[in-house]
Chain A
Amino acid sequence: QSALTQPASVSGSPGQSITISCTGTSSDVGGYNYVSWYQQHPGKAPKLMIYDVSNRPSGVSNRFSGTKSGNTASLIISGLQAEDEADYYCNSYTSSSTYVFGTGTKVTVL
């Protein structure tokens, strides 16, 4: 199972909105509404930000949202803040009953 494809880096100024894409295949992202997103700060464990494509866990800011179209899922961060600077990973359930993570995206707040 190959990793899902994400851009290596995305940047934006405070207050702006950015979008991180996550491209897979019909056997993972495109086949199920089980895409999740994780935020990871250096040296820390990942944190769940979005699950089931667009649902936010309790306590996660509503500045984070998720969508999916075909084989590509997206994480949108609106009103970018300094604390959003981190690595972000998508994850999808697959037709093999396994999971696959994305390659990861480093978000930089300019």
Chain B
Amino acid sequence: EVQLVESGGGLVKPGGSLRLSCAASGFTFSRYNMNWVRQAPGKGLEWVSSFSSSSSHLDYADSVKGRFTISRDNAKNSLYLQMNSLRAEDTAVYYCAREDCSSTSCYPGAFDIWGQGTMVTVSS
């Protein structure tokens, strides 16, 4: 079964750090671009970061640039998000999402597999 499972969420004080993990199974993880998307309580979806399959391209939303770092370990089929200098506005459910790809190309923005999400709460 194709699956993504996030972990690492929790309660952290403003200015603190947290590292999220996303474990992939059921597909060849190294062939896919991977993303983090978040959703604040009662709010809409916000794209956070992406990491290309070739490990050559990383991108971040302006709201997290300089504070968050995305990484991946293809040997462990895992995606990570290191979050530093956390703020109250970073409070959200964080989803790991796979970008759909064929054997020859990927489909930008086609996030076809999502995890169940992990909750991050930034509060004193």
Contact = CB atoms under 8 A, between A and B. Distances in A.
Interface majority SS on B: helix, strand, loop or mixed?
Answer: strand
A47 B57 CA distance: 25
Contacts of B50: 98-99
B108 A32 contact: yes
A101 B112 contact: no
A54 interface: no
Interface majority SS on A: helix, strand, loop or mixed?
Answer: strand
Contacts of A1: 61-62
Contacts of A36: 109-111
Interface residues of A, number: 29
Interface in A85-104: 89, 91-93, 96-104
Interface string A59-76: 000000000000000000
Interface of A: 1, 3, 32, 34-36, 38, 40, 45-48, 51-52, 55, 57, 89, 91-93, 96-104
Given A45-B95, A99-B47, 8 more contacts: A46-B37, A48-B112, A51-B100, A91-B45, A91-B109, A97-B57, A98-B59, A99-B109
